[in-house]
Every structure is written in structure tokens, then in C-alpha cells.
Amino acid sequence: MVVTQPDRPAGRGGAMTPTPVAAEIQKYHNQIPLLKPEKINDPSVRDRIREVRTDAFVVIAFGQKLGRALLDGVYAINLHGSILPRWRGAAPINAALLAGDPLVGNSVITLADKMDAGLVLATSSHPANPEWTAGDLHDILAADGPALVGQVLRDRPAGQVQDEALVTIAAKLSKADGWVDFRQGADECRRRIHGLTPWPGVTIQLRQQPLKLLRVKSLEGGPQQAPGTLIDPEKGLVACTGSVLQLIEVQAAGKRAMSWADFARGHKPLKDEVLVGAN
């Protein structure tokens, strides 16, 4: 059985749209039972799920807390996108990139009353790449998650208690977080831009028009210009404090994503123009 969130309005027309999980399962033409409950712990929903007598529950980004009555006597595990106890919470992938963590990965844990506080049953890890955005890292962790879950379901390891002294929290993000401050160093700017791409995204102002920064590179150097100044419009070099940020990929309002080179050819930015990016 697959349990996912209910259909929600999406797009400009607000059409009711299934989650990607539901859309995939619907391809099997009712061969796999599919539930879309508003409240997972409603007694009628709980009874319907427990009737299936599954060997295990696998929970991935479900968005509702499973109550004790639903979990009673069930082997239930959760795939979480961080190396716990680092980054419990709503946005672990973003948080790892924002903080510049050298290692990133997945954890499979038992479900607990406290958010992401269960026993750690298995982890995966990858050296972080400065070119990765949160979208890139999401896809990497999504690709290695199934094998990690399969390993736990086969081996049923005892698990390790998390060290509460090492816990960090990845707070939920909002559109208000989509800013960058060029008064910081270029590497801090890179981490922020990549950590918030594709959502909520980082938007700056160029000639009082919004421009979303999608992919950048931090460079060494000590520019004389004020932070936010476009040092080299052809190469997309922007002054930061004590360093230089190179704009690689951007997206103008209402346009597709494009390389900085393509954007510059069309918009012809000028040397010493200022990009406004502070909160």
C-alpha cells in the first residue's frame, strides 16, 4: 500500500493535482492500494492501513506525524536527508549546503515521538561538491536512498542512539529567505545561493529588475570595488568582501534559466553596475 498526501491545487489554474508519488502509483491501474488521507491518524484511515498487515512502514517526507496507535507493533523506518544527528528538521539538504558541511548523506532511522530523534539504523555519505545546488544534492540523495532502505529492511539492525549534544536543527524555509548579501565573502554567498536553489531561490536586483541567481562560483581575490559591483560584465564577476563571485547561471523574471554569458549578450550589463542583493 502507498499512503501519500491528498491532491492539492497547483499551477495558474489551480487544478487539483496529485503528489508525484500518487501520480506514479496511478500508472499501475489499482494494482497497488493508494490512500490520500487528510489526517493519517483518523481512526478510519488507521484501521484501513493496519488491515493490510504489512511487514514494515517506510516513511519518506510524508509531512504528517504517525501516531502511536498507528505504529503500535509495526517495524517503521524513516529515510531522512542528513547524517543524523546533524540537521534534524524540515530542510536538512538546504541546511547542509548553507553551512558548508564537508560530508552530506542520508540516514535511516526508527520513528520516535520527537522529530527525527529515532535510532540511527544506517547512513550514507558523500563528500560535498561546491558546484552542487540543493536540487542537485536532493537528486543524489534520492538516488542512494532506496538501497539504504533496502539494506535496513533486509538486516533489521539494532541501531545507534543519537548524541543529543550534536543535534542541529534545519528550520523550515520560506520565500523571505531568498536573499544574498554581497558584503559577505564570495564563498558564503555561493553557499547561500546554492543552498536555496531551486527553492526558495535567491533573487537580486539589476537595474531595479529581479534576477534569480541559480549557479555561481567563488574566486579568490581582493577587489577594490564596493560589494555588489559588477567587476567584469562579460565574465559575470561580482565584488564581495575580500573575494569575487562569478555568476554562472541566472534567470530573469518570466524567462528560462540561462548562462550568464547568454544573459549578458541580451541585456548588456555594464562594468561597475551594482547588483542589489541584501535582505
pTM assigned to the model = 0.93
What's the per-residue H, E or C state across the chain? Answer: CEECCCCEEECCCCEEECCHHHHHHHHHCCCCCEECCCCCCCHHHHHHHHCCCCCCEEEECCCCCCCHHHHCCCCEEEEECCCCCCCEECCHHHHHHHHCCCEECCEEEECCCCCCCCCEEEECCEECCCCCCHHHHHHHHHHHHHHHHHHHHHHCCCCECCCHHHCCEECCCCHHHCCCCCCCCHHHHHHHHHHCCCCCCEEEEECCEEEEEEEEEEEECCCCCCCCEEEECCCCEEEECCEEEEEEEEEECCCCCEEHHHHHHHHCCCCCCECECCC
pLDDT value at residue 278 = 65
Each residue's pLDDT, cut to its tens digit, for the chain (279 residues) gives 999 999 999 888 899 999 999 999 999 878 999 999 999 999 999 999 999 988 999 999 998 999 999 999 999 999 999 999 999 999 999 999 999 999 999 999 999 989 999 999 999 999 999 999 999 999 999 999 999 999 999 999 999 999 999 999 999 999 999 999 999 999 999 999 999 999 999 999 999 999 999 999 999 888 889 999 999 999 999 999 999 999 999 999 999 999 999 999 999 999 999 999 866
Domains of the chain (ranges; CATH) run 2-170 (3.40.50.170), 175-267 (3.10.25.10)
